[in-house]
Amino acid sequence: MQLDLALQLLRHAGHELVPEVLQSPRGLQTVIDALVEISSRDALTGLANRRSFELSLAREIDRVARSGEAALLLTLDIDHFKRINDSHGHAAGDEVIRAVAAMLTETVRPMDLVARVGGEEFAVILPNCSAQFAERVADRIRSKVQSALITTCTGDTLQATISIGGAYAPQWVRSSPVMWTERADRQLYRAKALGRNRVCLEPSASSTVSAEEKELLFALSPLHDHE
């Protein structure tokens, strides 16, 4: 490993390691741990990045398939984000993204994973979240963003809204990250089509199992192996 390059990357990400740390027996491990940390984080917001999100999503699907516990995936967009960039500049747009990221983190539980998966796109994985509480949690996130005043570096005060879609991981069924995300995205598109600044969730945690998920289930069945 090129230590100078590694330290340069860490300094750029805000990790300044003092020389005394590097000279200690655990110095190299400290550098490696810090590199692993920044590789899983979004540089702008500090949230989990897309790669980390996809790994966590796959783990959660496995957990739900084994335990049968409910789990909710929320996907969300900042509404009319292009207008913010066009009217106030990209620096202000970045500040809105950071502010929304902070509000998401403040509103969910420590066990939930919040990720930035695109420009103005976020996702939240909520383990052990039943349909009884899902709507309340999602609308609490939406409401917090709507009511916030975001002050930019230019002194402008902005307000933003978000649209949220949500889907449950099929319980006791082996699904896939792509299928689960597509379900949540369909609800997100519905929220946008209905006027934005709203939450649209699948009706219950006992989601209808798709044909693709049935194929996965039968493919993993011992009986299928003997056909």
- Catalytic residues, which ones? 120
Give the pLDDT confidence score for residue 225 in this predicted structure.
46
Q: Are 76 and 114 in contact (CB under 8 A)?
A: no
Read off the amino acid at residue 102. A
How far apart (Å, rounded) are the C-alpha atoms in residues 201 and 197? 14
Does the model's pTM come out above 0.85? Answer: no
Interacting residues of 223 by C-beta distance below 8 A, sequence separation 6+ = none
Partners of residue 224 on adjacent β-strands? none
How many Cβ atoms are within 10 Å of 209's Cβ, its own excluded? 16
Which residues are 48's β-sheet partners? 41, 115
Range list for CATH 3.30.70.270 in the chain = 50-215
Q: What's the CATH number for 50-215? A: 3.30.70.270
pLDDT digits (tens, 9 = 90+) for 65-104: 888 888 999 999 999 999 999 999 999 999 999 999 999 9
- Point out the residues of the chain with pLDDT beneath 50: 206, 218, 220-227
Pairing of strands 113-116, 157-158: unpaired
